[in-house]
């Protein structure tokens, strides 16, 4: 059943003003304008510089006297609860990311821009939104004439000519499709869309990344497609049906350089105190070292798993250390971003500020590793201090059975290591 087709009060107005604990944050404003936002479904369309539109769905509702939004992608609902009124506009902070939707609301319409605050170059994408429109893509003018359901062996081609392998997994029910792409460094998370005739359209928006995938068949077993990301990113892709398609083993891509058996590092925690893997706290413990960034949706998915896992298993002799590689080189800014992540996911393990979000910089910070291919990268260390496993990337819950297989393998590995004396 389409999760968007639910009954809501037709035009219940939620006042995003002081009555709903929304504060005017603009220090130059002397008055505030009550901005009206209707409860229910909003279809949002980001307008790229090349004219392509990346659509997504938001749901607005009232919780405990406060307006909140959800970014909806298939089964996923990402809570967005930091919404402030600034003059006649809304500033919607996007989950844990250093990004905003800034919008003016006019009844059942909204217009504004999607802004990233942590990029070297200005990043601003215009958008429009319509209340009550539950269709991510326009209703199909023709029923589906091609079945995209199943597993596909995919090759993406970047604009510079470089290529990388992926696996596409799609589930099609009539005209509706969900699925994702898995790569050797992570997955494209929850995708949702439809088929119109023989044209596939899938999109997603997680608060930091906006993706649109399109494809059409060349014959019964091959596809050609386009991948549009954010403001102006573009890649082409081809695919062929292959029920046995595989990627390189994620436990084999990153490894220790010759001469290393252990890992050593010292970085400041969020309060600025230096923390070392050699500290007594970690002695004779199984330690998971998580290379992450608050800007990274795959890291978000992994953290959503690791945080409750740590709470349930820390009494068994487990510690986790998150090494944050952030956009800003300034400690205070980087720590603030990681603090937001910590609060959102109730992280009770150590988070350290390890450097900037650059794979080469991360590899230099951890010279025992041959390289860093991806955020996240997860290093599992036994009670003897030796590195037992290094996992590159993360296949999150949007990948279905691949996520379940990872969870099963992770639990098996951890149970073995935690049982060691």
The predicted structure's pLDDT at residue 15: 36
- 3-class DSSP state of 150: strand
Of 242, 337, 325, which is closest to residue 290 (Cα–Cα)?
A: 325
Pairing of strands 210-219, 222-229: antiparallel
The predicted structure's pLDDT at residue 88: 85
Please tell me whether the overall predicted TM-score, pTM, comes out greater than 0.75 for this model: yes
For 323-333, write each residue's pLDDT tens digit.
999 999 999 99
Spatial distance between the Cα atoms of 205 and 187, rounded to a whole number of angstroms: 14
CATH class of the domain whose range is 150-241: mainly beta
The CATH number fitting domain 266-419, selected from 3.30.420.40, 3.30.230.10, 1.20.1430.10, 3.40.30.10? 3.40.30.10
CATH class of the domain whose range is 13-131: mainly beta
Phi, then psi, of 310 in degrees rounded to 5: -65, -45
The predicted structure's pLDDT at residue 36: 65
Are 150-241 and 266-419 equal in CATH topology? no
Of 25, 127, 12, which is closest to residue 59 (Cα–Cα)?
A: 12
Alpha helices in 198-318 (DSSP H): 297-313
The predicted structure's pLDDT at residue 66: 87
Q: Are 277 and 321 in contact (CB under 8 A)?
A: yes
Number of C-beta neighbours around residue 44 at 10 A: 23
Pairing of strands 163-173, 76-80: unpaired
Phi, then psi, of 307 in degrees rounded to 5: -60, -55
Number of C-beta neighbours around residue 331 at 10 A: 13
Of 168, 221, 212, which is closest to residue 194 (Cα–Cα)?
A: 212
The predicted structure's pLDDT at residue 35: 57
Structural domain spans, the chain: 13-131, 150-241, 266-419
Six token digits for residue 4: 């968007």
Query: Which CA distances in Å does 134 have to 7, 47, 370?
Result: 11, 19, 48
- 3-class DSSP state of 355: strand
The predicted structure's pLDDT at residue 184: 96
The residue ranges of the chain whose pLDDT is under 70 are 1-36, 140
């Amino acid at each position: 059943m389409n999760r968007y087709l639910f009954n809501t009060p037709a035009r219940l107005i939620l006042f995003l003003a002081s009555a709903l604990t929304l504060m005017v944050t603009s220090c130059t404003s002397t008055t505030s304008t009550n901005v009206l936002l209707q409860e229910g479904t909003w279809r949002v369309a980001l307008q790229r510089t090349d004219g392509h539109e990346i659509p997504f769905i938001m749901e607005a509702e009232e919780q405990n006297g406060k307006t909140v939004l959800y970014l909806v992608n298939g089964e996923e609902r990402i809570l967005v609860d930091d919404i402030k009124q600034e003059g006649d506009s809304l500033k919607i902070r996007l989950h844990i990311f250093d990004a905003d939707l800034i919008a003016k609301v006019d009844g059942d319409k909204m217009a504004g821009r999607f802004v990233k605050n942590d990029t070297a170059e200005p990043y601003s994408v215009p958008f429009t939104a319509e209340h009550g429109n539950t269709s991510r893509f326009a209703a199909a003018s023709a029923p589906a004439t091609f079945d995209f359901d199943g597993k596909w062996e995919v090759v993406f081609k970047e604009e510079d000519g470089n290529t990388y392998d992926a696996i596409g997994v799609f589930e099609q029910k009539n005209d509706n499709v969900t699925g994702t792409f898995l790569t050797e460094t992570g997955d494209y998370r929850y995708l949702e869309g439809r088929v119109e005739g023989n044209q596939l359209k899938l999109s997603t928006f997680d608060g930091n990344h906006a993706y649109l995938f399109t494809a059409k068949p060349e014959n019964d077993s091959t596809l050609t497609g386009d991948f549009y990301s954010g403001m102006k990113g573009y890649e082409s892709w081809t695919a062929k049906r292959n029920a046995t398609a595989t990627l390189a083993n994620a436990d084999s891509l990153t490894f220790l350089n010759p001469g290393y058996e252990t890992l050593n590092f010292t970085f400041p925690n969020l309060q600025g105190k230096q923390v070392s893997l050699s500290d007594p706290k970690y002695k004779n413990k199984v330690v998971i070292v998580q290379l992450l960034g608050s800007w990274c949706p795959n890291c978000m998915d992994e953290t959503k798993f690791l945080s409750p896992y740590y709470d349930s298993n820390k009494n068994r002799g487990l510690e986790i250390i998150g090494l944050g590689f952030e956009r800003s080189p300034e400690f205070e800014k980087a720590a603030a971003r990681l603090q937001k992540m910590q609060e959102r996911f109730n992280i009770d393990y150590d988070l350290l500020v390890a450097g900037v979000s650059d794979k080469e910089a991360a590899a230099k910070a951890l010279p025992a590793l041959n390289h860093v291919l991806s955020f996240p990268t997860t290093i599992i260390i036994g009670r003897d201090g030796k590195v037992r496993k290094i996992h590159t990337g993360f296949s999150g819950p949007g990948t279905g059975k691949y996520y379940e297989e990872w969870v099963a393998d992770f639990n098996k590995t951890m149970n073995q290591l935690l049982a060691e004396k």
